Structure 1
Amino acid sequence: MRAARMSEGRSTASAGLKLLARFGLVGIAATILYAGLATVLIKSEWIGVTPVQASLSAYAAAAVFSYLAHKSVTFMSSGSHRSEAARFVLLTATGFAMAYVVPALLTMKLGLSPIIGILVTCLLIPAINLLMLDRWVFAQGRPGRQGDR
């Protein structure tokens, strides 16, 4: 009986590590897509966009990629786009707001170095995203998982 529990624990840990690896790979790919697309848009004079417009356009494209990749690769969800995409957009908007609020609070209110604000943001947002994507955005569509309806 104890061996069965240990095996089950290893299986759960292994599944968690695989999920974390897929999450990380999708995040890295989305970041590369964002950086590459923003750079191309900025460098392409014939398109005529400002750096801010290029960044926002690239961010939107990376967000669409991120949603589709997390849905199909990271969480393998068969849930409806209608509910999952709406939740993903809300989570992405929350992350965007946090990317403003966290550094602002840490630098302007607490007087910390801007690099601290950036580092905290870089750690906090992906951690919250992983938790919320797993427990809320894609919870209903995952095999063997029950989400809130």
Structure 2
Amino acid sequence: MRAARMSEGGSTAGAGLKLLARFGLVGIAATSLYAVLAIALVKSKWIGFTPVQASLAAYAAAAVFSYLAHKSVTFMSNGSHRSEAGRFVLLTATGFAVAYAAPALLTAKLGLPPIIAILVTCLIIPAVNLLILDRWVFAQREPSRQSDR
């Protein structure tokens, strides 16, 4: 994680833990939003989405929520939406591709149990996302806001 400035009464480690907590809370909220929307869209008689359509629509909605929450809450970025949204979309698409490729590679090619592929995906994607969001997507932050992390 980016080195945070030492603030009065705080520490770099404390700032890092606060950032990690906000990152985790936004992730849990986005995942919950995805699950609720996907279930609602599948069960809705008047919308008529297939499970794949519901999943994609819910994923898109959760991604928008995730972008806005990470920008304003997790990283408190003052960068432009023009540059940050594009980077976020690229990162999200990459994560989606990894979530597809990891199980295919680990189970079909290497013969590992599905739980291993799921665990690898659940650990690798959030860790990489935190690093890339911090260092590239939301890198433009005011110095005073970086110390609040």
Task: Tell me the TM-score normalized by structure 2.
Answer: 0.89
Cross-structure match for 2:58? 58
Write the letter of the residue equivalent to 1:11.
Answer: S
Give the Cα separation in 2 of the matches to 1:135 and 1:93: 18
Give the Cα separation in 2 of the matches to 1:82 and 1:143: 18
Q: Highest CA radius of gyration, 1 or 2?
A: 1
Give the Cα separation in 2 of the matches to 1:143 and 1:124: 29
Give the Cα separation in 2 of the matches to 1:35 and 1:7: 38
Cross-structure match for 2:129? 129
Q: Which has the higher contact order (CA 8 A, sep 6+)?
A: 2
Cross-structure match for 1:111? 111
Point out where structure 2 has 5 or more consecutive residues left out of the alignment.
1-5
Cross-structure match for 2:138? 138
Kindly report structure 1 stretches of 4+ aligned residues shifted beyond 3 Å.
none
Write the letter of the residue equivalent to 1:128.
Answer: V
Moved more, 21-30 or 104-113: 104-113
1:33 aligns with 2:33: yes
Task: Tell me the TM-score normalized by structure 1.
Answer: 0.89
Question: Sequence identity, in percent?
Answer: 83
Give the Cα separation in 2 of the matches to 1:30 and 1:7: 30
Superposed CA RMSD in Å reads 1.7
